[in-house]
Amino acid sequence: MASRLPNIDNLSLSDLTELSARVQKAIASKKDEERGETLNALKALAQAKGYSLDELLGKGPGGRRQRSDKGVKLKPKYIGPNGEIYTGRGPTPKWLKSLERKGEKREKFLAK
């Protein structure tokens, strides 16, 4: 049985480079094509079961994934000298930044 692949032993460097670029484009194109087919098959299966694909993947409006702890009240991770609290999520509050600039360590304000 003869190979369907071309003999590349006698190709020049520029020809090999061009061939490599064409192969990479073909691979990317095939992956995109298969990805689309798979996505369509998953959407059809979800719809047949009465769901949307976003609903099954836990995505909210805009296609973004919803946090599993959305709406959960977090315990404070840091407590400031005047009773300020910081859960450790989001931007660092001004009171903690100013204390760190004065040389204080963040660990000093850890909630116990």
Residue 39 has what pLDDT? 92
The rounded distance, in Å, linking the Cα atoms of 77 and 7 is: 65
The rounded distance, in Å, linking the Cα atoms of 49 and 73 is: 35
- 70 — pLDDT class (breaks 50, 70, 90): confident
- 74 — pLDDT class (breaks 50, 70, 90): confident
Residue 6 has what pLDDT? 80
Full-model pTM: 0.47
